[in-house]
Amino acid sequence: MSGNIQLLGDTLAKAKAENRAALIAYLPAGFPTVDGGIAAIKAVFDGGADVVEVGLPHSDPVLDGPVIQTADDIALRGGVKIADVMRTVREAHEATGKPVLVMTYWNPIDRYGIERFTEELAAAGGAGCILPDLPVQESSVWREHADKHGLATVFVVAPSSRDERLATITAAGSGFVYAASLMGVTGTRESVGEQAADLVRRTRATSDLPVCVGLGVSNATQAKEVAVFADGVIVGSAFVKRILDADGDENAGLAAVRELAAELAEGVRRVS
């Protein structure tokens, strides 16, 4: 069975045709529970997200700040497994028909088995993987299997990436390029900064892939700012924080993430 890389590409192209950036949301699988996490993703899609990244919880999430670390810890203490991640992808995609990716560090895939992981992700209707800590020069086996199963391989670029390095990364990637707006970990910020616009400009000079910006975007104002120069706006910690702030009230948490998605979906619509 083939994965949904084409659906991902079509979704990003549709947003561009509508003169707006795509809204890409991130939520960890198994948070606050497996069922609760699936419901949250559906709520985010219902609010207006175009794409969702499902986080595979990790005990040492080096890219993630304290909010997502807290969520990962809750999911891991709840016993979340890769099978639950695949179920989350499957049910979210089947319910909405929209593209769902997995964001994961490399170690869980390496232990699980590349062929097994890619085959199961494709069977679940997944669109691909975001792999923040997989070096491009060590990614050929992964990419071979991902290509075979119709899955995108999304790499992360940072403001520190030199132009030559950007070209190497974008040549190996597919689906889109994840541009980290700043150096550091995930989390909300007061401003996204000019570094992000420069990074998008330099990345586009090396590739025709859409460039989507994450790290630090938490509200509609920031989403609008980023949508001026990026193909997609990625928001994670702000969604997770809404669920944490609901303090165990599932209905309140779902309403909060749906509302935030609607606000952000309005923000990514550019002013002509």
Beta bridge mates, 234: 24
Look up residue 12 and give its amino acid: L
Are 239 and 258 spatial neighbours (Cβ–Cβ below 8 Å)? no
E strand or H helix at 242: helix 237-245
Are 166 and 204 spatial neighbours (Cβ–Cβ below 8 Å)? no
Q: Which two tokens stand for residue 75?
A: 């999911």
Distances in Å between the Cα of 87 and the Cα atoms of 108, 131, 169 are 16, 20, 30
The phi, psi pair for 8, rounded to 5°, reads: -60, -50
- Catalytic residue positions? 53, 64
User: What is the SS3 assignment for 27-95?
Assistant: EECCCCCHHHHHHHHHHHHHHCCCEEEEECCCCCCCCCCHHHHHHHHHHHHCCCCHHHHHHHHHHHHHH
The DSSP output letter for 185 is -
Alpha carbons 217 and 163: distance in angstroms, whole number: 24
Alpha carbons 215 and 188: distance in angstroms, whole number: 7
Task: Give the list of residues 6+ apart from residue 237 with CB closer than 8 angstroms, or none.
Answer: 65, 67, 68, 186, 187, 188, 218
The DSSP output letter for 243 is H
